[in-house]
């Protein structure tokens, strides 16, 4: 299996969701060095790849019965389960090596995102809150990057003495609501299949109207979280958050009139994180 197939397997383009918030976490920590950013990037790519690979492995039977996902690598048989587990090992190694090169606290805490990644695929089988759990998985990205920087100087005090509050706490919570808002609408594509298979997605449980309303509410909540966090106490980050919140809400409300809503909302969501990073860096 070539590199192209591996990148398709882990949907490398979805890494664009978490990367800006990884860098935001590092920026909030203060003056990261180039080598620290490199190791944070290695750990972030490893975490993202591991999360997706685990999701594909655990969901392979569900994917095979969904017309939209039946051609995925494991569901279609294009990739063996052994290969998928090997990729998991490689991505886990990237996460651990990256964390190890940053500081011992980051390495010691690397079990936490792995646990969250393993649990996520099972949440969709029991509760509509699976979208929030997915958001929480990505919400660990800025917290992990932040710890990768400050853990070198503060050690365990970075956690035990609550140095992560308020900025990193509210940023991570904002990421949770932001990803949940996106995932609610993403799940609209699988409503019929989810109902047939007993998947407890929000759209399958509550319908399209409530999905739209709740995703708008989540968009307002993630703006509120970023506004509370405002790590630079300035207008640029707050303005960037307000602008992208309004744009996201506008796209959600106009989904019926947008020719390819899912593609448009995907790119809007990707741009959101990078605009927020820009708003933080130009201050």
How do residues 167-178 score in pLDDT, each as one tens digit? 999 999 999 999
99-117, pLDDT tens digit by residue?
Answer: 999 999 999 999 999 999 9
Q: Nearest 10 degrees: CA dihedral of 14, 17, 23, 28?
A: -150
213-252, pLDDT tens digit by residue?
Answer: 999 999 999 999 999 997 877 789 999 999 999 999 999 9
150-159: long-range pairs with CB below 8 Å, 24+: 150/29, 150/30, 151/102, 151/103, 151/104, 151/105, 151/106, 152/102, 152/103, 155/103, 155/104, 155/105, 156/105, 158/105, 159/105, 159/109
Q: Look over the chain and give the mean of its residue pLDDT values, rounded to a whole number.
A: 92
Domains present along the chain, CATH in parentheses? 3-281 (1.10.357.140)
Task: Determine if the pTM surpasses 0.85.
Answer: yes
Q: What is the pLDDT of residue 267?
A: 92
Q: What is the pLDDT of residue 10?
A: 65
Cβ-proximal residues to 53 (8 Å cutoff; 6+ apart), any chain? 9, 10, 84, 87, 88, 91
**Which stretches of the chain score pLDDT less than 70?**
1-3, 5-7, 10, 283
């Amino acid at each position: 299996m070539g590199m192209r197939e591996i990148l398709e397997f882990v949907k490398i383009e979805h890494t664009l969701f978490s990367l800006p918030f990884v860098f935001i976490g590092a920026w909030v920590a203060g003056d990261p060095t180039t080598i620290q950013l490199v190791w944070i990037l290695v750990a972030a790519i490893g975490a993202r790849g591991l999360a997706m690979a685990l999701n594909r492995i655990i969901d392979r039977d569900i994917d095979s019965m969904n017309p939209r996902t039946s051609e995925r690598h494991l569901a279609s048989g294009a990739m063996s389960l052994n290969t998928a587990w090997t990729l998991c090992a490689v991505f886990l190694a990237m996460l651990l090596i990256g964390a190890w090169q940053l500081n011992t606290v980051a390495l010691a805490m690397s079990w936490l995102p792995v646990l969250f990644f393993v649990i996520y695929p099972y949440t969709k089988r029991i509760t509509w809150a699976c979208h929030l759990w997915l958001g929480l998985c990505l919400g660990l990205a800025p917290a992990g990057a932040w710890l990768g920087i400050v853990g070198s100087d503060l050690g365990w005090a970075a956690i035990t003495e609550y140095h992560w509050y308020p900025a990193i706490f509210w940023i991570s919570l904002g990421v949770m609501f932001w990803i949940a808002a996106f995932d609610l609408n993403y799940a609209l594509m699988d409503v019929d299949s989810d109902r047939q298979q007993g998947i407890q997605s929000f759209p399958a449980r509550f319908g399209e109207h409530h999905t739209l309303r709740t995703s708008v509410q989540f968009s307002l909540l993630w703006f509120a979280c970023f506004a509370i966090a405002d790590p630079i106490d300035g207008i640029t980050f707050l303005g960037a958050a307000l602008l992208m919140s309004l744009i996201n809400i506008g796209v959600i409300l106009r989904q019926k009139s947008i020719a390819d809503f899912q593609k448009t909302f995907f790119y809007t969501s990707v741009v959101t994180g990078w605009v927020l990073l820009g708003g933080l860096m130009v201050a």
